[in-house]
Homo-oligomer: A and B are copies of this chain.
Amino acid sequence: MLLVKKFGGTSVADKERIFNVARRCMKDYQAGHKVVMVLSAMGKQTDVLLDMAKDINDSPPKRELDMLLSTGEQVSVALMSMAFASLGIPSVSLNAFQVAMHTTRVYGSARLKRIDTERIHHELDNHKIVIVTGFQGINKYDDVTTLGRGGSDTTAVALAAALHADQCEIFTDVEGVYTADPRIVPKARKLKEITYGEMLDLATLGAGVLHNRSVELAKKYNIPLIVRSSLNESEGTIIKEVTKVEGMLISGVAADRNTTRISVIGLEDRPGVAFKLFDMIAKANVNVDMILQSIGRDGTKDISFTIPEDDTKDCVELIEKKMENLRAHKIDVNEGVAKVSIVGAGMMSAPGVAAKMFECLYNADININMISTSEIRVTVLIREKDTERAVNAIHDAFGLED
């Protein structure tokens, strides 16, 4: 079998953990499997590099930031290969140039376009374990790009797809996908299986286990994904197209505190205003999530929407620059909000799921700010300080502890 195995920063944070990971992969190699590893930067190294950059320049050019950050994974893969050499196992480290990991142009949040597999196959044929830098790529100018936070997951899945791997394992510091974040909900239960769609909604909504683009890719190419702990041998959670019906209405509840609500007040109430606003934001590569438009009054209307907290500064500056052009009166920014979502393929065939969620929040005296829904998901925006109570109340109401 050809196995792709991705290890995050905490899994390679120090010498001991690097050797743990190496020994674990060595077993698969010695059992005759072909092993391709994808590594993140060690521990908090990406944050360390980011701090170095900010110390030099408050808003460093994104091209140069990617050039800087990409060194983190290169250090990890080189050290891992040295660990294999100590264990007498042949291996080779490869960076984005060496693999030829082609991405789109955008620095900081590039998307993988094409992966050349020639070099990797060549090294695998020479019986080497191949260790690839996650998170990074090169664009058509031969410049280094990064895929955004958590991008190493995407690298792993894309490699699995390009190499026609039999399986892609994502090793992390949790034991799998839970019905809720165990740090918030003590009764949270580990799921054995979950569909791509459910995982996608959980990932997008901040479950924090997997990068959402990696799940999209896995779904697109039908790559079985396994999320499991790098610290023990427990089974983890399998993400695949169809799962056994567990008779569950919903699979999990997720909270995302890293969100900001922006309201643009007093927009002229005429066609094309919303388009102008969101087109501008999209071109700046900011992902808008929930959108709420008020009913027009006095010839004006208000539009509220949520964006990732990290993009707040960029987005606000952008809108402020165009206030006149948008004919807006003022902009209101609220960082003290959180998104709480329930996700489950089961809700497609069961009416009243959203109502049950709203009822349970009403009973807990938690005010709902905005609502958005999809076929398998209901999301509400609430005050950040209510997050923990909300998630526990929902977890209880839907009986997720089993």
Partner-B contacts on A (CB < 8 A): 15, 18-19, 49, 52-53, 55-57, 60-61, 63-65, 67-68, 70-71, 74-75, 77-79, 81-83, 85-86, 92-93, 95, 97-98, 119, 142-144
Contact = CB atoms under 8 A, between A and B. Distances in A.
A61 B85 contact: yes
Contacts of A98: 142-143
Contacts of A67: 74, 77-78, 81, 93, 95
Given A71-B71, A93-B64, A142-B119, A57 B77 contact: no
B56 A86 contact: yes
Contacts of A78: 53, 64-65, 67-68
Number of copies of this kind of chain in the complex: 2
A75 B60 contact: no
Contact of A83 (B57, B71, B74, B83): B57
Contacts of A81: 61, 64, 67
Given A52-B79, A142-B98, A85 B60 contact: yes
Given A74-B71, A97-B97, A64 B85 contact: yes
A57 B71 contact: no
A68 B74 contact: yes
Most buried by B among A82, A85, A92: A82
Nearest to A56: B82
Given A93-B67, A119-B142, A75 B49 contact: yes
Most buried by B among A15, A49, A67, A119: A67
A79 B97 contact: no
Nearest to A63: B92
23 contacts: A15-B55, A52-B75, A52-B79, A56-B79, A56-B82, A56-B86, A57-B85, A57-B86, A60-B82, A60-B85, A61-B85, A63-B92, A64-B82, A64-B85, A64-B93, A65-B78, A67-B81, A67-B93, A68-B78, A68-B79, A71-B71, A95-B144, A119-B142
